[in-house]
Each structure stands twice: as structure tokens, then as C-alpha cells.
Amino acid sequence: MIGAESLVRTLVAGGVNVCFTNPGTSEMHFVTALDRVDGMRCVLGLFEGVVTGAADGYGRMADKPASTLLHLGPGLANGLANLHNANRARTPMVNIVGDHATYHRRYDAPLTSDIEGAARPFSHWVKTSPDAQSVARDGAEAIAAASTPPGRIATLILPADTAWNEGTAIAAVPSIPQRAKVAREALAEALAALRSKEPCVLLLSGKALREHPLNVAGKIARATGAKLLAQTSNARIQRGAGRVSIDRIPYPVDQAVALLKDVRHVVLIEAKAPVGFFAYPNKPSVMTPEGCRIHTLATPLEDGVHALEWLADELGAGGQTAPVEPLKKPEIPTGAITLESLAAAIGALLPDQAIVADESITSGRNLFGFTKGSAPHDWLQNMGGSIGLGLPMATGAAVACPDRKVVCLESDGSGMYTLQALWTQAREKLDVTTVLFNNRVYNILKGELANVGAGNPGRKALDMLEIGRPDIDWCGLANAMGVEASRATTIDEFVDQFRTGLKTKGPYLVEVML
Amino acid sequence: MIGAESLVRTLVAGGVNVCFTNPGTSEMHFVTALDRVDGMRCVLGLFEGVVTGAADGYGRMADKPASTLLHLGPGLANGLANLHNANRARTPMVNIVGDHATYHRRYDAPLTSDIEGAARPFSHWVKTSPDAQSVARDGAEAIAAASTPPGRIATLILPADTAWNEGTAIAAVPSIPQRAKVAREALAEALAALRSKEPCVLLLSGKALREHPLNVAGKIARATGAKLLAQTSNARIQRGAGRVSIDRIPYPVDQAVALLKDVRHVVLIEAKAPVGFFAYPNKPSVMTPEGCRIHTLATPLEDGVHALEWLADELGAGGQTAPVEPLKKPEIPTGAITLESLAAAIGALLPDQAIVADESITSGRNLFGFTKGSAPHDWLQNMGGSIGLGLPMATGAAVACPDRKVVCLESDGSGMYTLQALWTQAREKLDVTTVLFNNRVYNILKGELANVGAGNPGRKALDMLEIGRPDIDWCGLANAMGVEASRATTIDEFVDQFRTGLKTKGPYLVEVML
């Protein structure tokens, strides 16, 4: 079999059975190999940011890598922003990037570029296959690299002749190392902090935000009086009724500093020490007060779940009852649309086992509180801060979990970066209800402009922050890409339309006019 | 004044008076500085590929750089594909990329990435300003780097504190080197080839495709019997009635090889030796036959215009009459839509001094022939092969030349990568008529799949090439972003609607159903 087929078969044998694609000439042998191999679902994106963002959403929900298929350096480049986000979320992903045939590169044809150079800032593992005989083995190595916990971006570059020349048999995936357990010294330090009687925060992220470790953390908190907090952004939080609820460190620096002002110890479990998303003149970069000590119990690469269990054991917290949320949905609101009433409506109607892909930015700041006692759900956030992840991430999550409803909470500014995801949702009939917050402004930037002390914006500056004139018709965009949509101008309309979306098996978009 | 203002003032003083922007928090001081400085037009794009593609179109038409304003590594990453295209077109461009404050980088906040690493594969010049005192001088250097002929991509990274701290006065742009004149030896070699009586091609690209050098080349061709050809893709060709017409080397390898099969000498003038856009099994990478000699008269970095004049002088070709095209428009067609009838209609109606932004791919292969005798116009192509340039390039060309009609010839597959450009056209009321060829397929890939010998595609492979199901409604997309649009299903409808577009002062889109 040819190299391309040896790679596809290796991927499938290695458990990679979804490929998000936007192929070109140099990937045609890979594409036709897909026809000859069972077990690989191919999902086309009309822009590469959709492809990599979908692979991120998939990887977070499937806990294993999807593959992507991208066309040379520029095709990869279009996917880099969402690779950055996936990289920050530690999502496993195997990117296959076609390149010119090895012997053709020297001619510097128009699409030639330094693909490895472009991939490296956003990948943990980068390799160019030298020949068709190496492709299967390189693919197996890419799977292993991507699957190394907690998850990595592996980018394999495939010159066209390595795809079309004779390859090898399927290659077996090398053994994947388990996550390192934390050191006894780290545990001892965390224990001392927790037993110090001084104000202590357990700061969680990564896999520690799944249902079971949160439950353990809840017991530890109850036993010790420590406060549980999650990072501002997290790859996936399991929350809602029956689970231990956890607040996040607020994005605004002043709020974060205020929340942490009396804390003396922060114990990190797969989390990073809290720093500002941006720097601002006359505001600190570090959110914890002077004198507060940071104790790294588990780095993001270590096994925080085991660390929590060990901690609970040592503390004898096993007998505690974790403070799980009761099922307590907000009342269905009525009247005008406000950010509060929207949050209440979403909290009330969120279906059981929903997957929430949240890129609602300023419009969604109330959502977390109002969904605390909703039906159990998973909450996915943008970890890298590069907007344009929401619609693709929802797309990939829906591919990973066809039996669950995906609710995408998207802002208009962010949504415009990768709106092509709606087309993929329509083609694949993905079960995604999108709530599109249309406020016609990069609202966060108005606040940031004040925060950085850039002065009063004039007309020219405001024109760079406001995205009305012309107003974007999101129902029109959705319909034009085959997605049913409706516009809500009161909260009652929103409730009706959101219900319709949730009842619809397939994609639906509710445009909320703010 | 603060660093950001020193930079904006330096840009304006250095002749850079357009900024295509998609800013974020780290660029807020730059944005408000724009309010305090006259002479900088700011144009917002809702996606960074629009921003860099527009700067490419602007630079090609203005023959000087526009600036861009991008948000950290991922914002730059979203613009890289069209930077690749601009790089290949040797378009002058000054990118300003915001970064975290210098002292904040060590905290590895979510948006942190290796910006220089991401920029380098697609930029000639990359620099990070170390402090506010350096910003103006670095900006002036970036202008000089970008303006160095034939044109370069300069990327200046601006940490937020270098923007908000106290800067310097305006910095003067260092002197910009002129293009090197070609060496006498190169001229002698070209002369010998032209005088050899053996079949000879003058292969032109770059600035050699403007009206005057083409006229000189036409005289040389007439005096020597050499054939004029242009590269397959070129940044800008001046053509139409009253100008010397030049055919391009065809994209399909077999056609290119057939065209060149008897050629013994190729004289390169700002062009590269003809190679395949891609490699294909059992097809050559080099388009010229064995034994054909390649003579580099002027590299793309050298002054090909002067080289042509010198060549004409030496050949005594000055007395020749250049073979300029008479004004000869095609008949207005009627009946069904075919690629020929569309080309004829466009050729007949193309306005005087139109700027054609061509990304019509397979749908446009007849256009060049049918517009040879149209009213004089400029023809812009995608030089880097990364699709998604057409709509942004048209946008930038319209900003550069507000008194000229821009005609954008765009395919549906390519258009979807950067459709957000339509919104910018609506906001800025840019005079662009877009002809959108809606064939619901990556048509070129169907041909390429056969060319690379990848076998008969099955359903899964075809699904990666066909972009119907659901069909995209381009009128709907355009309307949703504030652009008037109509759909043509016969050539008569097309003629009517294209005329309407051309009469409309502002953006208009004609969706052609193929």
C-alpha cells in the first residue's frame, strides 16, 4: 500500500478515527486513501481555523486525539490560532500537513514555505516524513506524542511523494507514558499549607475539574476550610446538579486581586499561579498578594487527580460529604433581554448532559453563576484567548458526543472569525444550539481601553471597537450556510427560540439582540 | 508623547497613511493614538486574513506599504496565509503586532506565544521593540525595510509597555536603496540569446508587467521574434486596449510543457524559471524542455524595467512599433451561463481603468483571453497560491484607488476563507463589484486528484472536494454583511446584474450559479 494509506490505517489502528479536513492537491492521496479504509470519519471545514478548533473540541470531549488534514504552510497557518488555543488547553491532536514532493521543494514553487518553522511555535512535536517507508512509523509516533498526558499537539508534515510512493504495513503506536505522580515533598508542602489554619486556596485546572476529582477536592475543602477555585479559563469543567461547584478567578484584575487579597497559601493542582490575562499600567501582573505562598502540588503535566486522592487520604477527608450542588434551576424569566435574564433562561433550560462551548466573553459573565444548579453538564472555555474558537469547538464536541446536546454561547465579534463552522454543522447535521450574542461591539475592548489608561477614545478609535455599521445579520449568515435560525428581541422570544433550538435535532442558531 | 503615538506619527511622516486593523487589548494605545494623529486612515477587518490581504491589495496598487495592526501571536497567525501571498507578490507591508508588556511575558499568560517565530517564515524583516524610546526608530526602519524594492514584509512587534511609556519624537525613515541595475554580463547573455535565431521567450513578472516596460518588451519581441510570456501568476499586469498583451504560462503542467516544448532560450526579467505549481507523479517539475537555457537578465530583486530599456537600446528596437491591442470588446452574450459566455460578458463590460482582483481559479480560465482588448485595466493575481486572497485584495485595492472600479472575480471555495471582507467593503463603502462563481465544488481539486494519479474518488473523498450539501447562499452571506447582491442563472441576468453592480457606487455582489 502507498504511504498515505499506511498512515490512514495506522491512525485508525491507533484509535484516531476522526479527521477534520481542508485538503489540497498535495493531500489527494490521503483523501482517496480514506475511501479504502473503514473507521475514519472525515469532516470537511471550509476554513482551517474551523478544522483545528473542531479538533480541539473533539479532543477535549473524547479524551483522545482527532487528526486534521491541512494544505501546506498557509493551510497550517490558517489553523494556527486555534492550535494555540488547543495547545494551551493541552488537547491531544494529530495534524497532518501536506507538503510539496521532496524533490519539488528546491524549485520554490508558489506555495513553498517553512512549514516546520510555522508549526513549531504552536506544536509540541513536529516532524517531516522523509520517505514513504517512514510515514506509518511517523504517524504512530505522532499519535503517541499527541496522546502523552495531559495531551499535546503533534504536527506531521507529509511531502506528497511520501504519500504516493510505496509505504509499509501499519505501524504500532509506541507505548504512551502515564502521567507522573506527584512527589511526596510536594504533598507534604501542600498538607502543611492546608493544616496551617491560614487562608488557603486549592486552585484547580486540567483533569482535576472532572466530576470525581472535584468531589474529592470538595471533601478536602470541607475538612480543611480551604477554598476551591478554578483558573479563569479551563479546558473542561464538569458541573451542575450533583457535582461540586467551583468558582473561577475573575478575568478583571481588580476583581481577582480583591478575591485573593487575604489568601496566604495557594495550592496548585494542574493549575498555574494566577496572573493577569494582560498587563495594565499601575496594576499588578501577579494576582496573589505579597506574602502569599504558591505551592505546586501537581503541575499541569502531573497527575492532579491522584494528588487530590492522596491529599484526601492523608487528611482523612474520605468520610466527609462533598458539598455537591442540589438541582436548582433559575426561574424562567420574562420581559426585557438583560445579561441576567439571558443567563437565567439558559440556566433554566440547559439540558441534562449538555456540552457548553463558551465564547460569550462580556455577554456571558453571569452565565456561570446561573448554571451552577442546572442539569449536569460539561463547560468548555477558550484557554488561549485567541477568539474564534467557540463555533468550531462546538462543532468538534458534537462530533465527539453525538448523543449529547451542544450549546454554543458565542459573541458576535468572536463568531465572525470562524463563522464557516456553521456550514460544517449543517453538513454533518450536528446537534448544536448556538446562542449568538449580538451586541455589535468588541465590548471587552471598550473596557480594556479604559483599563490600560489609553484615554478617551475618539471616533476613529471607536470605529475600531464597534462592529455595527453595517449591523451583521446573524440569522442571514446562518441561513446562508444551511443552519436554521431566529432572532430574539425579548427574553420571552429567547426562551421560545432556545427551546426550539434544543428540541431541534441538528444545528440551530438563536440570535440575541443586545 | 507615548511610544504608540511616536510610531503613528512616524508612519504618517513616512508616507504610510492607511492602517488595516484588528486590534486587541495590547494595541489600545496605538488605537487611541490614531485619534490624535491626522493623516492615517483606519480600516477595520473582522478577521486578520482580511487585514493582511487588504494590505496586499493596497500595496500592489499604491506602490507603497500600508500598515496593519494585529493582536499578538494568534492575531498574526490568522493573517499569515495572506502574508505568504503578499510575500510572494513582493508587496510592501508594515505589520504592527502587539505583544504583552515586556515585564508580563515571563508569566506566560494565555495569549503568550513566540511571535517572532511565527512571523519569520512569512516576513523579510522582524523586530521586537525593546522599549518606548526605540519605537519610533524601529517604525522608521520597518518602513524602510518594507519599501526596499521590489517590496518586503516588515513585521514590528510592539510590547504593550513600549506603546504606553514615554517615547521619542518622530523618527526619519532611513534612506531606501534603489533597485540594483542588472550587470553588463547578464545583458550580454540575454542579447546573445535573442540574437541566436533560436526560439526564445522573454519571461516577465514583477514591475516589468506595467504598461511602459511591456511596451518596451513588445518592441524587443517585434525586433527579435522572441515570444513574450508572463508567469502563471503575477502581482499586477497592466493590460487591455492600447497596451501590449502578454499571455501567461498555463497552470496545468501538460499545457505549460506543450507551450514551451520548442523553446531554446528563456530570458528572465523579474520572473522565475517556470516550474510546476505542484509536483505530479510522472510529470516534470521543470516546465522547459531539456536543452533549453535559462538566462537571468533581471532577478525579481533587480530593475527589470531598466534592463528592458537597455536591451531595447542595444537591439536598436526603439524604432519598432509595439504591438498594442486595439480596443476590441467581446459581443455581449446571451443564453445560458458558460465559462465562455461569462468571460465574454466581463470582457465586454469591464470599465475603463478597472482593477481586477482575480481569484476565480477554474471558473476564470477563459477570462484572460476575453479581456485582452477590453478597456485598459490592472489585473491582480494570487501569487502565493493560498486561497482566500481575492475578497481582501479587492478591498485593499479599492482603498488605494477610490476613483477606480474594482472587479473581484472570486470562486465560492476560495471566497469562504475570508468572506468577512465583504463587511469591510460595506462599512467603507468601497467601490467593488464582486462576481462570485458558485459551482459548489473545489473544482480544481477534482482535476488535481486525477493529475496526481490518486485513483477514482469514492463518496468519502468526493465529500472532501464538493462544497454543496448544504449549498451556500452567497447573496444571503453578502446581504447579512451589508452588501447588496443578486443571483444570476442565465447570462442575460448576469449581464444585467453585472451592469447594476458596475453602476452602483459601493460594493455589490453578483452570484453566478454554475
- Closest to B35 (Cβ–Cβ): which among A47, A80, A460? A460
- Closest to A385 (Cβ–Cβ): which among B110, B160, B456? B110
Bridge partners for A409 per DSSP: A358, A435
Hey, CA dihedral for B257, B258, B262, B268, is it positive or negative? negative
* Among the listed residues A428, A380, A437, the one whose alpha carbon sits nearest the alpha carbon of residue A51: A428
Assess contact for A94 and A146: CB atoms under 8 A: yes
Q: Contact B32/A455, CB-based, under 8 Å? A: yes
Which chain B residues touch A29 with a CB distance below 8 Å? 452, 454
- Hey, of A441, A460, A472, which one would you mutate to test binding to chain B, going by the most B CBs within 10 A of its CB? A460
Encoded amino acid at B38, one letter: D
pLDDT mean by block of 10 residues, chain B; 514 residues: 97 98 93 92 98 98 98 98 98 98 97 97 97 98 98 98 97 96 98 97 98 98 98 98 97 97 98 96 96 98 98 96 97 96 98 98 90 98 97 98 98 98 98 97 90 88 94 98 98 98 98 97
Query: Minimal Cα distance from A36: which residue of B?
Result: B458
Length of chain A: 514
Distance CA A175, CA A173 (A): 6
Which chain A residues touch B49 with a CB distance below 8 Å? 78
- Hey, of B12, B30, B32, which one would you mutate to test binding to chain A, going by the most A CBs within 10 A of its CB? B32
Which chain B residues touch A31 with a CB distance below 8 Å? 449, 454, 457, 461, 464-465
Buried b (16+ CB within 10 A) or exposed e, B452-483: bebbebeebbbbbbbbeebebbbbbbbbbbbb
Query: Minimal Cα distance from B450: which residue of A?
Result: A28
Q: Contact B459/A35, CB-based, under 8 Å? A: yes
- Closest to A472 (Cβ–Cβ): which among B101, B109, B480? B480
Which chain A residues touch B275 with a CB distance below 8 Å? 104, 107-109
- Closest to B464 (Cβ–Cβ): which among A31, A121, A417? A31
pLDDT digits (tens, 9 = 90+) for A169-221: 999 999 999 999 999 999 999 999 999 999 999 999 999 999 999 999 999 99
- Closest to B113 (Cβ–Cβ): which among A84, A272, A456? A84
Distance CA A385, CA A363 (A): 16
Distance CA A126, CA A132 (A): 17
Given a cut of 70, the residues of chain A with pLDDT beneath it are none
Q: Contact B384/A111, CB-based, under 8 Å? A: yes
Burial (0-12, 13-18, 19+ Cβ within 10 Å), B504: middle
Query: Minimal Cα distance from B116: which residue of A?
Result: A121
Distance CA A384, CA B301 (A): 39
Which chain B residues touch A108 with a CB distance below 8 Å? 272, 275
Shortest CA gap B244–chain A (Å): 26
Shortest CA gap B418–chain A (Å): 8
- Closest to A80 (Cβ–Cβ): which among B80, B100, B469? B80
Which chain B residues touch A49 with a CB distance below 8 Å? 78
Q: Contact A78/B78, CB-based, under 8 Å? A: yes
Distance CA B510, CA A248 (A): 49
Task: Give the DSSP H or E segment for A377.
Answer: strand A377-381
Eight-class DSSP state of B244? B
Map grid coordinates 517556470 to a residue: B274
* Among the listed residues A354, A493, A372, the one whose alpha carbon sits nearest the alpha carbon of residue A432: A354
Distance CA B369, CA B409 (A): 15
pTM exceeds 0.80 = yes
Task: Give the DSSP H or E segment for A126.
Answer: strand A125-128
Q: Contact B42/A459, CB-based, under 8 Å? A: no
Q: pLDDT at position B450, please?
A: 87
Degrees to nearest 5, angle at CA B302 with B300 and B303: 110
Query: Minimal Cα distance from B43: which residue of A?
Result: A464
Task: Give the DSSP H or E segment for A380.
Answer: strand A377-381
Q: pLDDT at position B239, please?
A: 98
